[in-house]
Amino acid sequence: MSIKRGFLETPNPRFILSLLLLVLIFPACANESTDSPVADLLASQQIERFPDPWLMRKSDGEYAWSYTHGLVLLGMEQLFKQGGDESYADYIQSYADHFIDAEGNIDTFKITEFNIDSINAGKMLFFLYQHTGDNRYRLAMDTLREQLEWQPRTHSGGFWHKRKYPWQIWLDGLYMAQPFYAQFEILFGEDPSVFDDIVSQFVVIERKTRDEETGLLYHGWDESGLQQWADDETGLSPGHWSRAMGWYAMAIVDTIEHLPEAHEGRQVLGAIMARLVEALIPYQHESGLWYQVTNQGNRAGNWLEASGSAMFTYAIAKGVRLGILNDQLTAVAKKGYSGLLKKIVSIDEEGKVHVNDICRSAGLGGTPYRDGTYEYYISTDRVSDDAHGIGSFLLAASEMIRLNQPEM
């Protein structure tokens, strides 16, 4: 089976027939509208491919409660809220019900690992609790909130990424924890100082990781400076990885959404987001996409990467919608989404939609050791249909739908 790259490129006759059927059913696919029936098709096919959602990706070798599952299911949640099929809500609930027992315990979740990634899948529980009223979801959220209560911190106040990664903050971690932390507090909390803590963590890590020359952020910071990947003077990892900054950008807009209207953190985070977007724009490729290593597009081995590009598209479009970014930046998001449809999304001869050119996984430290260099990032697996790419594309598509259909 051959895959035809670019949703709008000219393929063979069987592919043309499949595409014509799509166009007849979903005309927006043909003209690159910001409405995104291709996202609904992708979501439906994901459900068909993995009827049991926890089987879509392994985590550390097992089918466990995972941030990657959460990313895909949060994309489906947003599509559902934009008028998507009821099957999306059912799929999200089947995932939660597989892991959460009658007392709200989460199977495979180990609080003493203090893995900040474990919080991300808990974001869907707010939706499920509201949608069903089932108290198991509230109890599970309480468990995740308890982890944050005891999560180890750097001396600067930021959450460690994991207990096994001491004194380290990765940009990824801000997305995993802070939006959940804020949403839990505004719905169930009784300590307004939590919002100050949340904003402070964003401020600290931007201050620590921002490169003064480019304005881009480094992937990670080791306060102790003991890691091999950490610069002796700054504690910073060596490179600018697009998905790391994508996680951070999404964290900002998703957190702002749950801050109290009068909290000054809205302006603080808005300014951070504006600085980051200003730094990203010069590195947006003419296709609308961004490279795996953001500022090294001219180097051998680098590629235009799906998940980071989709995350930037989502965060910029949502930032405009929330009023924290200038309306003129809508053009940047539209260009990014167009690039995703033309260069990243494909449809095969059987009419199946694929998301290509995804970095399967990247991190810092661990075994085998990940040193955060350019050579490391471009050596990571470049794959199709991984949860990182599917989830981030669904989120980007959901924001583009909102862009076309503003809320009344």
| Whole-number pLDDT of residue 37 | 86
- pLDDT for 14 equals 34
pLDDT for 377 equals 98
When comparing pLDDT for 1 and 41, which is higher?
41
**DSSP one-letter string for 72-110:** HHHHHHHHHHTT--HHHHHHHHHHHHHHB-TT--BTT--
CA 27/CA 5 separation, integer angstroms: 20
Among the listed ranges 8-12, 293-297, 340-344, which one has the minimum average pLDDT value?
Answer: 8-12
pLDDT of residue 36: 65
CA distances from 123 to 179, 188, 401 (A): 8, 14, 21
> Could you tell me which of 229, 227, 204, 228 has the C-alpha nearest to residue 217?
204
Residue 15 has pLDDT above 60, yes or no: no
Closest by alpha carbon to 198, among 180, 172, 210?
180
Residue 33 has pLDDT above 80, yes or no: no
SS3 320: helix
**Helix or strand (DSSP H, E) at 346:** strand 345-348
Residues 127 and 160: beta-carbon distance below 8 Å:
no
Compute the average pLDDT of residues 219-238.
Answer: 98
Please give the average per-residue pLDDT across 282-307, as a whole number: 98
Which one from 35, 40, 117, 172 is the annotated catalytic residue?
Answer: 172
Locate 96 and state its tokens: 């939660």
Please, which pLDDT band fits residue 60 given cuts at 50, 70 and 90?
Answer: confident
Q: Which residues contact 403 (CB under 8 A, 6 or more apart)?
A: 34, 317, 320, 321, 330, 333, 334
Residue pair 379/76 in contact (Cβ under 8 Å)? The answer is: no
Judged against a pLDDT cut of 60, whether residue 91 lies above it is answered with yes
Q: Lowest mean pLDDT: which of 80-84, 207-211, 357-361, 374-378?
A: 80-84
Residue appearing with tokens 């964003």: 202
Written as one letter, the residue type at 158 is: G
Catalytic-residue membership of 172: yes
Using the predicted structure, report yes or no on whether residue 17 has a pLDDT greater than 70: no
Query: Using an 8 Å Cβ cutoff, are 175 and 169 in contact?
Result: no
Q: What is the mean pLDDT of residues 19-30?
A: 42
Closest CA to 294 of 303, 286, 395: 303
Tell me what pLDDT residue 286 has.
98
**Which among 185, 182, 235, 233 has a CA at the least distance from the CA of 205?**
235
Does the pLDDT at position 7 exceed 50? no
Whichever domain contains 114, its CATH number is 1.50.10.10
Taking 50 as the threshold, does the pLDDT of residue 189 lie above it? Answer: yes
Q: What is the mean pLDDT of residues 173-177?
A: 98
| HSE-up (13 A, CA, CB side) for residue 160 | 19
Q: Which structural domain range is residue 47 located in?
A: 3-404
pLDDT digits (tens, 9 = 90+) for 106-124: 999 999 999 999 999 999 9
Long-range contacts of 373-379 (CB under 8 A, 24+ apart): 373/238, 373/239, 374/238, 374/239, 374/293, 374/296, 374/299, 374/302, 376/239, 377/239, 377/241, 377/292, 377/293, 378/292, 378/293, 378/299, 378/301, 378/302, 378/303, 379/301
Amino acid at 331: A
H/E stretch holding 333: helix 330-339
Strands, E assignment, 357-399: 358-359, 382-383
Q: What is the pLDDT of residue 393?
A: 98
Q: What is the pTM of this model?
A: 0.93
Between 29 and 198, the more confident residue is 198
Q: How many domains does the chain have?
A: 1
Angle at 88 between CA 19 and CA 135, to 5 degrees: 175
Q: What is the pLDDT of residue 30?
A: 37
Q: Please, which residues bridge with residue 354 across strands?
A: 346
Q: Is a pLDDT exceeding 60 seen at residue 87?
A: yes
% the chain with pLDDT above 90: 88
Q: What is the mean pLDDT of residues 250-262?
A: 98
Write the CA distances from 299 to 12, 236, 293, 369, 374, integer angstroms.
33, 22, 9, 23, 9
- Alpha-carbon distance of 289 to 313, in angstroms, equals 9
Average pLDDT, the chain: 92
Task: Specify which residues 5 forms β-bridges with.
Answer: 346
**Average pLDDT rounded to a whole number, residues 200-209:** 98
What is the average pLDDT across 316-330?
97
